[in-house]
Amino acid sequence: MKAHVEERPKQPVPAEIVGDLLASIRGAFYGDLDGKQWHQEKRFLMRVVTWPAAWFNRRGVTIRPDRYKAIFLGILDGIKVHGATAAVKFWPGYLLRCVQEHFRHHGDAYYEEGKAMRATVERALSQVTGRPQTDPVEALAHVHAVLAPRRTRARSRFLKRQLDLI
C-alpha cells in the first residue's frame, strides 16, 4: 500500500485570478444590469483587473497571487464605500481611474512589499526545491499588454514613420 502523500497547495493561475476579480466586479457593480452591457464592457474590465500587474511588472517586482487579489478587492470595497457610484456612466473607465489613483497613493508601499526580502527568499526557495513557479503577476501583465487597444499601437507606428520622414 502506498503511503499517503499530501497534496501540495496549488498556485492560482492567471485565468482563475482574472475570473475571480471579474466575478467580484460583476457582483458589486453590475448585479442589476443586463448581461449585454456586461459582455460589451468585459474586455475593458479585463484591462482594469490586469492594470496592477502591468504596474508591478514595469517596476520589476511581484507579489503573491492572494495578495494581488486582496489589494484589488480592497480597492473595490473602497469604491463601494467612498465612491460616487450614482453618477457613474461608464463603469470600466471609472474603475480604472480608481485603481490608478489608488496605486498613485499607495504604490510605494506595494513596491516595498514586492521588493521585501521575504518575497526574494520565497522565489529562491521555489527554484532550489526544483519546483519553479511561474509568476502569475508577470503573466497578468502580458495579458494586459495583449488587451491593449490596437489603435494606440498603430498610431505610434504612424508617428514613428512620420518622424522618420522629417
Annotated domain spans of the chain: 14-165
Query: Cell 497547495 sits at which residue?
Result: 9
* pLDDT at residue number 152: 53
In 3D space, the residue among 59, 52, 71 whose CA is nearest the CA of residue 137 turns out to be: 52
In 3D space, the residue among 87, 105, 95, 78 whose CA is nearest the CA of residue 42 turns out to be: 95
Q: pLDDT tens digits, residue range 16-33?
A: 899 999 999 988 888 766
CA distance 53 to 28: 22
Most confident of 94-98, 122-126, 143-147: 94-98
Other Cβ atoms closer than 10 A to 126: 13
The region of weakest confidence among 37-41, 85-89, 131-135, 157-161 is: 157-161
Task: For the full predicted model, state whether its pTM sits above 0.85.
Answer: no
Instruction: Look at the alpha carbons of 99, 105, 107, 113 in this order and tell me if their dihedral is positive or negative.
Output: negative
CA distance 103 to 119: 20
Query: Cell 460589451 sits at which residue?
Result: 40
Mean pLDDT of 139-160: 72
Mean pLDDT of 133-148: 82
b/e per residue, 44-67, with b = 16+ CB within 10 A? bbbbbbbbbbbbbbeeebbbbbee
**Residue % of the chain over a pLDDT of 90:** 34
